[in-house]
Structure 1
Amino acid sequence: MSHASLADFLALLQDNNELVRVSALVDSSIEIAAITDRATKATPSGPALFFENVKNSTIPVVTNLLGSRRRICLCLGVSDLTEVCGEVERRLELAQPASWLDSLKLVPSRGSMGQFAPKLVKTAACQQVVRVGRDVNLWDLPVPRNWKGELDPVITSGQLAVVHPQTRKLHLFQSPLVVAGQSELGWYDEHPVQRDIIHAAISSGQNLPVSISLGGDPLLCVATGLPWVGDVRGFVGQLRGASLELVRCRTNEIEVPAGSEFILEGYIDAANSRTSRARTVARGNGSYVSRELPLIQLTAITHRANPVFPATVVGLPPSEESWITAARERIQLSMVKRLLPEVMDLHQPFSAAGRNILFVRIRKTVEFQARRILHSLWGLEELGQTKMIVIVDEDVDVQNEAAVWFTVGTNTCPSRDFLFSDGLARDDDYTPLTESLASRVGIDATRKSSRESERPWPETLQASDEMMARVTERWAEYGLAD
């Protein structure tokens, strides 16, 4: 499914009754976030919200864009999230991994690699209006301030593009960006790779060019959070079945999605690389992080003639982030199954806030297999900071949280089946042992063989297949059809 612009996707949502236009005057400071947070926590999930009349701005704001199962499916071009893993493999025509290292990436086959590669264009709608130098003014944008503890507005849905000064490799991140001044942004550099890039530039005395895109195909929001995808833009092209068009920025050499609503261009000054004071950012685990941030000096803001400002409200689950995480989880399953074929399914419940808990269903064939899988999963960059991983047998539905916790309660002996390990702490985690060291636990909730347990494992209660088929056939006859 290809969406050339945010307007295309909004039209699709409108046609599917998934978009509500709010004409009442609203304030971008906390009010938009409060409305959105209530909508995301409705049952069923509330609609995408298009705020037409924002205080002190002529630019409308859209929130909760991907905040439901149906809208995530519309974004991915599937009818249900369960189809995503198979669709990823089909659309990418995945090549068989030549080595163990190749298994760590989603590698398209040679025949499909160039078909939907990004294309560079000379002109783009995202550069219909160009403001440079003294005309750059972030206060003209309706950037929301989401929570009372955030003293500054925060851009939450931008894709940040930066080139490593030594390797010359393009990296894409989706990080909170704090409005620190008229033409200054504080970059919440939560990932070690981000810090390495910034440090490499500053230590060599080079200014680091940075570009941020907002809007465009919403699939970019999903894919940018997948660090194991080597070429995010090529990956998006393969998934959407159409090449992503790129345009070169006006004040640096970085190429950005041509279908964006806004492009913010700038650099980190090697001689003035930090914000003047600590900046506070709200995180999806329900807490704030406050510290000095790398400072991006903006050199240009370009946008469409009639732009829409997209915003994601970060908050306690369920939130829009919860559904984006669910989509990434389905895509990630493709990679995990290539590395560990015995893995049948995995699931991060909303209560995990996209990071803390992972349920994994396996086809167990040998004793202590769950332990090997635990350590393999922790060895992956994107799962290494998961606090708790639960491994269950193939007959347990990991999408059913109650079924998983029932299995943990009945199938585990904590002294034997709880495995503790230390790993790198997340920057926004306030629970670790030390500033950089966090504790993790793996739970083997699989049935145990005679070599794993001295006591025989009981048979699970279940009706025979024949009886279940008979009951299904006669269900209406029992008077229970309704």
Structure 2
Amino acid sequence: MQDVIQWLKDNGNLKVIDKPLDVELEIPHVAYIEVKKEDSRPILFTKPVNKAKGIEYEMPVLMNIFANKEITEKIFGKHPDNVAEGIEELLKLKPPKTFKAKLAMIPKLFSLKNVFPKRLKFKGECQEVIIPKEEVDLDRLPILKTWEEDGGPFITMGQVYTQSLDGQMQNLGMYRLQQYDKNRLGMHWQIHKDASHFFDQYQKAGKKMPVTVAIGGDPLYIWCGQAPMPHGMFEMLLYGFVRNKNAQLVKSISNNIYIPRDVDIVIEGFVDPEKMEIEGPFGDHTGYYTLKEPFPVMEVETVTMKKEPVFAATVVGKPPLEDKYMGWATERVFLPMLKPMAPDLIDYNMPENGVFHNLILAKMKVMYKGHAQQFMHAFWGVGQMSFVKHALFVGENAPELEEAEALTEHILNRLSKDKILITQGIVDHLDHSSSEQFVGGKLGVDATGYEVEEGIGELLSDEILLATIQEIDASVVGLKQYMTHTKNPVCVIAVKKERSQQKLMKKLRVLKAHIRVLVVIDEANNDLNDPYMLIWRVVNNIDAQRDVKLKSIIAIDATNKSEVDGFMREWPGDTFCTKEVLDSLQEKGLIDIDEAFIKKFGLLPF
């Protein structure tokens, strides 16, 4: 993959757009529309411009590299399940007892020599052009502004290389980087990540922290940057394992951090632990803006690049996104690493409309009473799994985890208030729904057993049930029932919210003969007929300890929270496209969408 563009043309059905397009909103909007199509393709924008700054960039912008499962598998060179099998073999490796067994092990051990990164003593292709500190100008890079309310342009596919204070541990992470000016970047490494832990070491020692950011190169570097490796393990080990060849690293020009020789662009610098600056807002992969918050600042020392670099970027917002396919690969590869702490785990799935850390589905072999609850605690106590807010467990006879409708039916037929666990734990830095940042409610559902005996008393039509509810509370303006053939139908109601919904949920307990599971959502920007986006909204918007009630019926308040709920944090807004930009792109023939597409994916407010 020395020439990624040519490789994508040959293997990924690369779409090339030669018309000049603005890095502010236009290019990101085109990529955002494309990745939501069933036949999504990678896109190369050959003529990026910045109209506001009057810049015509010399390098193209490459987006949607992981555009679908097929291209993701090609990037790996094998199915991710095959990578997982290799990892599982390693984890089960035992000392050979016979001479024949020792001989049989030699090929496996020999191949492991390719896992470890190789440090080269010469410069790499990424250092063909060296820009010294006095000439550094980040405006030369086509850094994107994705959303209208973003705090500025952001590097969205930066490979951030850091190392511990003693130099013994190196880390690769993928963090967004806000461009402040010509030579400063905001470092949004979240509090739970390794780079942030390294930063703490430098801060305590009162020393500047070296950081090197790489862009482009082998797309597998990008995937490794978001892989949830155990603490202290360098992600480039994973690269070597997948590729079965050493990652070749070269030393940065201005610090001692090593980066892959074949990346396109390298931004080197230092973070002063005494300097913080407000970063954000930024429309993130949750589909919400993350709010302004102080983060460390990287002062750029040097920029290096290939002679003809390509600027790689991704677009984030509401699902589905490119991370759907990156996450699919991660999910498959890391299954063997979960099994040692949950040995009877069969499979797991993190649906993209649960934005990964908000929802996990797991299939397990049940060995004893309380086994599923044990798994819940295990998941919530290990690594990045500890950020998962909602975990649903089914037994080995359940449908496949990606068979959404059949699996939902299976779960609802086994759903019981007695087998719902609500507790508290850490939540992701990006989570906006908990009353206190970093700590919030967790919900686990044990649907591993037999079908529940008791079902709904009397099923009413949507029209009759809505009229009945409106007699109780006129703020309810819409209703849709799902899975009415199951023991626990789901009733979703839309409200014009002016007060806390806790009282409404309490009043509706009188309808327990007609309602088993009640979900309350805001009328604004929610489509009662779109279950995909309703799941996205619900798992984003609830803190289980506050918003889930288990008396008489299972009731869930998935509305936006404010002071009327006793919620004192700022509640962020949705990521919405800019209508004028969509209209302009439509007129130019660069996108082809209709009102149904816009509403389906929540592109504009409604």
Change (3 A) 1:97 1:423: farther
Could you tell me which of 315, 323, 326 is aligned with 1:324? 326
Asked if the contact 1:349–1:401 (Cα under 8 Å) also holds between the matched residues in 2, the reply is no
Q: CA deviation at 1:374?
A: 1.3
Q: CA deviation at 1:328?
A: 0.7
Paired residue secondary structure (1:293)? strand
Asked if the contact 2:133–2:301 (Cα under 8 Å) also holds between the matched residues in 1, the reply is yes
Greater shift in the superposed pair: 320-329 or 164-173 = 164-173
- For the pair 1:118 / 2:117, whether they are aligned, the reply is yes
Match of 1:471 in 2: none
Change (3 A) 1:239 1:91: farther
Match of 2:242 in 1: 239
Change (3 A) 1:181 1:71: same
Match of 1:477 in 2: none
Paired residue secondary structure (1:239)? helix
Alignment of 1:245-256 (within 5 A): 245-256=248-259
**Could you tell me which amino acid in structure 2 is paired with residue 90 of structure 1?**
G
- CA distance in 2 between counterparts of 1:305 and 1:34 reads 28
Q: CA deviation at 1:119?
A: 1.6
TM norm structure 2: 0.68
**Could you tell me which amino acid in structure 1 is paired with residue 315 of structure 2?**
V
- CA distance in 1 between counterparts of 2:25 and 2:264 reads 23
Q: CA deviation at 1:279?
A: 2.9
TM norm structure 1: 0.85
Change (3 A) 1:189 1:16: closer
- For the pair 1:406 / 2:409, whether they are aligned, the reply is yes
- CA distance in 1 between counterparts of 2:15 and 2:68 reads 14
**Could you tell me which amino acid in structure 2 is paired with residue 24 of structure 1?**
K
Match of 1:28 in 2: 23
Paired residue secondary structure (1:198)? helix
- CA distance in 2 between counterparts of 1:92 and 1:386 reads 24
Could you tell me which of 366, 370, 373 is aligned with 1:371? 373
> Cα RMSD (Å) of the superposition?
2.2
Match of 2:63 in 1: 63
- CA distance in 2 between counterparts of 1:312 and 1:92 reads 31
- CA distance in 2 between counterparts of 1:447 and 1:278 reads 47
Q: CA deviation at 1:11?
A: 2.3
Larger relative contact order, structure 1 or 2 (CA cutoff 8 Å, min sep 6): 1
Could you tell me which of 47, 53, 68 is aligned with 1:53? 47
Q: CA deviation at 1:120?
A: 1.9
- CA distance in 2 between counterparts of 1:353 and 1:424 reads 16
Q: CA deviation at 1:228?
A: 2.5
CA deviation string 1:372-428 (max 9, x = no partner) = 1111111111111111111011122111122222122110212x1111121112221
Match of 2:287 in 1: 286
Could you tell me which of 364, 380, 385 is aligned with 2:382? 380
Greater shift in the superposed pair: 421-430 or 292-301 = 421-430
- CA distance in 1 between counterparts of 2:253 and 2:83 reads 37
Q: CA deviation at 1:267?
A: 0.4
Match of 1:262 in 2: 265
Runs of 5+ consecutive residues of structure 2 not aligned to the other structure: 50-55, 95-106, 455-606
Asked if the contact 1:247–1:255 (Cα under 8 Å) also holds between the matched residues in 2, the reply is yes
Which contiguous aligned blocks of 4+ residues in structure 1 show a shift greater than 6 angstroms? Answer: none
- For the pair 1:86 / 2:79, whether they are aligned, the reply is no
- CA distance in 2 between counterparts of 1:45 and 1:52 reads 22
Greater shift in the superposed pair: 244-253 or 116-125 = 116-125
Change (3 A) 1:269 1:34: same
Could you tell me which of 273, 276, 288 is aligned with 1:274? 276
Q: CA deviation at 1:435?
A: 2.1
Runs of 5+ consecutive residues of structure 1 not aligned to the other structure: 99-107, 456-482
Q: CA deviation at 1:92?
A: 8.0
- CA distance in 2 between counterparts of 1:17 and 1:295 reads 36
**Could you tell me which amino acid in structure 2 is paired with residue 86 of structure 1?**
N
Change (3 A) 1:435 1:20: same
Percent identity of paired positions between Structure 1 and Structure 2:
23
